[in-house]
């Protein structure tokens, strides 16, 4: 999916387009979050879907739906499942490499230039 940012902030440019890296629905918190890379440092972060407008609804092959205790559901690339994000945020070089490779695949899928290269 491609998202258009609707909120002016330090981390995201207003009216700029972002590749969605996943969606998380929480029944308990009654919230929907999307994962996107912030402009300031390229780090993937979760933001409220309400800050964005979905521009492109396509989802590439290789995504999965995971259901978790506590009433939340995550839709994301299968390679980001399991403890991937824990390892990524701990600075694991293999996870960082895997993320960058898949982000490039998403850029190619949506025909968008990778602004983090």
Give the percent of the chain with pLDDT over 70: 100
- Cα 109 versus chain centre, distance: 15
Q: What is the pLDDT of residues 52-76, one digit of tens each?
A: 999 999 998 999 998 988 888 999 9
- The residue whose two tokens read 């402009």 is 39
Helix residue ranges per DSSP H, 46-91 = 84-89
**What is the token pair recorded at 74?**
């995550």
Query: What Cα–Cα distance (Å) separates residue 23 from each residue in 20, 91, 117?
Result: 8, 22, 24
Q: What is the pLDDT of residue 29?
A: 80
């Amino acid at each position: 999916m491609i998202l258009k940012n609707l909120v002016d902030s330090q981390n995201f440019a207003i009216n700029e387009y972002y590749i969605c890296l996943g969606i998380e629905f929480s029944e308990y918190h009654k919230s929907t979050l999307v994962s996107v890379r912030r402009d300031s440092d390229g780090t993937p972060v979760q933001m409220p879907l309400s800050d964005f407008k979905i521009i492109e609804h396509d989802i590439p092959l290789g995504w999965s739906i995971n259901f978790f205790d506590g009433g939340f559901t995550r839709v994301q690339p299968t390679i980001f499942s399991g403890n991937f994000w824990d390892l990524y945020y701990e600075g694991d070089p293999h996870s960082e490499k895997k993320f960058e490779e898949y982000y490039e695949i998403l850029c190619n899928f949506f025909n968008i230039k990778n602004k983090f290269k």
